[in-house]
Amino acid sequence: MKYVVVSGGVLSGLGKGVTASSIGVLLKSSGLKITSVKIDPYINSDAGTMSPFEHGEVFVLDDGGEVDLDLGNYERFLDINLGKNNNLTTGKIYSKVIESERRGDYLGKTVQVIPHITDAIQDWIEDVAHIPADGSGETPDACIIELGGTVGDIESAPYIEALRQFQFRVGRENISFVHVSLVPVMGPVGEQKTKPTQHSVKELRGLGITPDILVCRSTRPMTQETKEKLAAFCHVSADAVMSTHDVPNIYHVPLMLEKQGLCKILNVDCNTTDLLSKWREMALNLDTLTEEVSIAMVGKYTDLSDAYLSVIKSLQHAAMAVSRKLNIDWIEASHLEDSWKQQNSKEFDNAWKLMKNADGVLVPGGFGDRGIEGKILAANYARTSKTPYLGICLGLQVATIEFCRNVLNLTGANSTEFEDNPQYPAVIFMPEISKTHLGGTMRLGSRPTLWQVDDCKIKTLYGEGESVDERHRHRYEVNPDIIADVEAAGLVFVGKDETGQRCEIFELEGHPYYVGVQFHPEFKSRPGRPSPPFLGLLQASSNASQ
């Protein structure tokens, strides 16, 4: 087993996840089977209870794990399916060690960070690295380990020490350390400054890890002089100092690293398979798209695109498949509401202008009642104007509420999430869900949806099969008691769970594309293999834009 450890310095948000994923692409292109582990030093057990403003989206895995969004990058780039144990957190490690101590596993020893926590970290990584991830059932050849946070953080100290020890456990020849850092460009002449990276590497070496490769983020390519200066001060070869400057799209990053000789440094032949040539074609094709398609994204975290990262990527994958350049028009849901018009009529007018100029409308998942009426208005606009619409999770629920209010004339229809005792509960709390604990208590993970109707657009998009498996993350569902009335009026639930009670997919009769899904199809979308509900939205929206 070969290991690549990716750490970060200077500041967070430099793109460690994309770097780790890109290194994985290069290793995969050499014919190796790849898996990955993301270490998050926070004390939360998982990302499930964190606000998207804190940490971006919560990515959901097949086994129901609620994890960091970087695992989504790994799955998309490497076309693998990971499990919840591929995301290691301080909460998980300390829980495991304390549980062992309570059982008496340490035989009376004083339980300490070294060796007990550090040993547990190493054991966890080694165990997870050997779990097949690509569907072949075969043990991976290499594992990419990304250490979240920044070197020097107090939270990450036990992990740095564990990884320092790990190099001796697995053999120094079987592990490579990659450090991602920042080279800012300063002053009127645009001088590339190496000092932040020098300090970061000095800190890392002081903790016992000497990086083999430096990946330096910058706005433009690093000069050879800068590379040689970093090499001299950071104890690496100049050839091992990689420049990852800004590029038109992230699919260029593996190609950029390959061009600078990373495959040679890692001692692999990246042309063993045709993966890199396909990757190159995809990256260049994305750069050349000119005909545009606009999708109105109606949400509540529109100031932070990472909150909808997988949705954005899924839209991009689908746009590439229909040869369109994607434009996302971000609309804060509350700005569509009449109450907002009184506060700020300019923002209200602008939100509706974006909505009416868009080729398609997407309402993504979410929690809480802020902006709900705006989302209901968006669903109403898309339904009545025959604009292509995709509602995901909450997007399905608000569209159902809108249909009940305006087609069935149940004006008091609402969800029990937003109103304690609505006159007509169109969406209700699921009976099996805990009301006392938030973490890991939703309906989570990959579950089957069985087709109820043979002749519908969404089934055609999914292709053959009696059912589809998609990933879920919700506490509320469409009230089974209203389904017959809703379907009689033309909103047909074409997909349900194995009980036949829980509504998973609807489609509106006589509409170009009006689809809602209770699951989150964005988590399984891949470059070159777009998610069917997104592909349907982009196909319908592209026809509308011609």
Q: Which of 263, 270, 393, 404 is catalytic?
A: 393
Give me the phi and psi of 149, to 5 degrees please.
80, -165
Query: Could you tell me which of 79, 77, 17, 81 has the C-alpha nearest to residue 255?
Result: 77
Rounded CA-CA distance 214/198 in Å is: 11
Active-site residue 393, yes or no? yes
Our answer to whether residue 234 is catalytic in this structure is no
Distance CA 46, CA 69 (A): 11
Q: Distance from CA of residue 359 to its chain's centroid?
A: 25
Among candidate residues 66, 146, 507, 522, the one labeled active-site is 522
DSSP string, 365-376: ---SSTTHHHHH
Whether 197 and 180 have beta carbons less than 8 Å apart is answered as no
Question: What is the identity of the amino acid at 39?
Answer: I
Give the residue from 400, 312, 278, 434 showing the smallest Cα distance to 52: 312
Cα(77)–Cα(55) distance, integer angstroms: 20
What is the C-alpha separation between 447 and 321, in angstroms, rounded?
Answer: 26
Cα–Cα dist 100/303, whole Å: 43
Helix ranges (DSSP H) in 33-175: 52-55, 70-78, 90-103, 118-129, 157-170
Task: Decide if 75 is catalytic.
Answer: no
Return the bridge partners of 2, or none. 142
Comparing CA positions, the residue from 251, 250, 188, 180 lying closest to residue 218 is 180
Task: Tell me the pairing of strands 241-245 and 185-186.
Answer: unpaired
Between CA 458 and CA 481 the distance in angstroms is 24
Euclidean distance between CA atoms 285 and 181, whole angstroms: 29
CA distance linking residue 127 with residue 271, whole number of Å: 30
Amino acid at 142: A
Are the C-beta atoms of 127 and 160 separated by less than 8 Å?
Answer: no
Consecutive H or E run containing 153: none
189 Cβ contact partners less than 8 Å away, ≥ 6 residues apart: none
**Residues marked as catalytic:** 393, 520, 522
